[in-house]
Structure 1
């Protein structure tokens, strides 16, 4: 059986100390270059393959220095300090002589403690009661995800009539794939730029920096399997060419898996 298209897209080959070589994949193409989530996932895959890795990812910050071009790339993932239960990393992606992506990560060995999700999962209809949108996917990568939008869809008419930046949706890989940290990193960036939803106006926009916090360890994540995730995203401020948007993803069981925060450039 051939590998899932996601696994094909994030496949890496060792290329030296702390380095892995990979290739962009047409199945995850965005308007310009690849979907940012797949680039993030490729970097997380390098981190997960590193023989010196301690524990699971708990925090990841990625900075998109330039548009990733279609073609080959090299990822460098370097552990810069290892403590008893946490490990700190620097990350970079290069294409030729150009650095297109920088970042940092923290991995950790989690332990059982008092735990609580302060932000509860929103009350929403279950996945199979929410229809799949009938509109044609605007970009190739959108086809790689089954998205059942509850509120805040991508506008079908760009007429400036938007009133809220909030979106809620059920989502999973298409075809379904058991969730892991690599695919979770990708799916955490599934939300369209909030400026599209808030303004119903199509303007140039792109992520500048994205931070993802992982709230579960590998054993907890494995319990999700191929199930749906409930996602919610909103912006907080649009000003002078940049806006921030925050998002959360919960399992069907109501467990928060990740929260994210990103700063996005927009042109007008």
Structure 2
């Protein structure tokens, strides 16, 4: 049986002492370095494979200090503190002795408590009734995802008053959902400046944070079905903007929220 391309891309070799060796994958190439979502997923995988890990992911913050070059890289994952309910991690990707990416992660033990969601999933037509949108071939990584937009499709040359998009999405080919693939999916939303300006303006994520609201059982219940997501920007100003997204399962359960700060030129 052949492995899924996603699993090939996040594969790591344990080197001991919390260090892991990885390799960029051409299928997840972006215009400069790899797709940020695959970098986030790989960092999360390093913690998952660490022998001292406790619990499951609660949050992940990735700071893209510089591009990751094609080829090998090394990840160092350090558990800086373990408490009764949470475990805090410091991570870094290095190449040639230089830091390319830093990150922090929080893992934890979830316990049953009172629960509620104040952000319900929007009404949406069945994903199969919507046309799949394909990005330009230059955006190589997008070929690994199926995206069916309900609203907020970018039209080249057409400025939009809103930066909001709602879509169904999943890995392509379909793959059962887990924390690493969810981390990748949290970054598939093209920069909101594209939608507002109608132009593929040079832009890149500076920092990305993901909050995981579901446990492993809730993710497993999604199988390889579509997820529903809404993304929007908040403030575009002086070369930077922020954007956030909310991701629900096909059953309407809130799985994750994500926020990022993006650099852009205009």
Q: 1:135 to 1:245 in 2, by over 3 A?
A: closer
The yes-or-no answer on 1:145 pairing with 2:162 is no
Distance 1:136 1:100, change over 3 A: closer
**Residue ranges of structure 2 left out of the alignment (5+ in a row):** none
Indicate if the aligned counterparts of 2:134 and 2:143 stay in contact, CA closer than 8 A: no
Aligned counterparts of 2:144 and 2:104: Cα–Cα separation in 1: 27
Q: Secondary structure at the match of 2:20?
A: strand
Q: Does 1:249 align with 2:242?
A: no
Give the Å deviation of 1:139: 1.1
Q: Distance in 2 between matches of 1:15 and 1:150?
A: 45
Pick closer, same or farther for the CA change 1:68–1:135 going to 2, 3 Å.
Answer: closer
Q: 1:154–1:192: 8 Å Cα contact kept in structure 2?
A: no
Q: Is the 8 A contact 1:163 1:199 kept in 2?
A: no
Unaligned runs of 5+ in 1: none
The aligned counterpart of 2:213 is: 215
Q: In the alignment, which residue of structure 2 is the partner of 1:187? A: 185
Distance (whole Å) between structure 2 residues aligned to residue 102 and residue 208 of structure 1: 11
The corresponding residue for 1:24 is: 24
Any idea what SS the aligned residue of 1:91 has?
strand
Query: What TM-score comes out, normalization by structure 2 length?
Result: 0.97
Deviation sequence 1:15-39 (CA, Å, 0-9, x none): 2211100000000111111100001
Matches of 2:144 and 2:132 in 1, distance apart?
Answer: 13
Residue 226 (structure 2) aligns with: 228
SS of 2:207's equivalent in the other structure is: strand
2-structure distance, mates of 1:163, 1:138: 26
Look up the match of 1:43.
43
The aligned residue for residue 65 of structure 1 is 65
Give the direction of change, closer, same or farther, for the CA distance of 1:212–1:151 in structure 2 (3 Å limit).
same
Superimposed CA distance per residue, residues 132-170 of structure 1 (whole angstroms, 9 cap, x where no aligned partner): 126654411111011111111233x2x252221001110
CA RMSD of the aligned region, Å? Answer: 1.1
CA shift, 1:176, in A, is 0.5
Local SS of the residue matching 2:54: coil
Q: Which 4+ stretches in 1 moved above 6 angstroms?
A: none
For the residues of structure 1 that align with 2:40 and 2:32, how far apart are their CA atoms? 16
Task: Work out the CA distance in 2 between the residues paired with 1:154 and 1:71.
Answer: 32
Separation in structure 2 between the aligned mates of residue 73 and residue 144 of structure 1, nearest angstrom:
22
TM-score between both structures, scaled by the size of structure 1 = 0.97
Q: Secondary structure at the match of 1:184?
A: helix
Deviations 1:48-72 (A, max 9, x none): 1111111000011110000111111
* Equivalent position of 2:56 in the other structure: 56
Task: Count residues with an aligned counterpart.
Answer: 266
Q: Offset at 1:117?
A: 1.2
User: Following TM superposition, by how much is the alpha carbon of 1:97 offset from its aligned partner in structure 2, in angstroms?
Assistant: 1.4
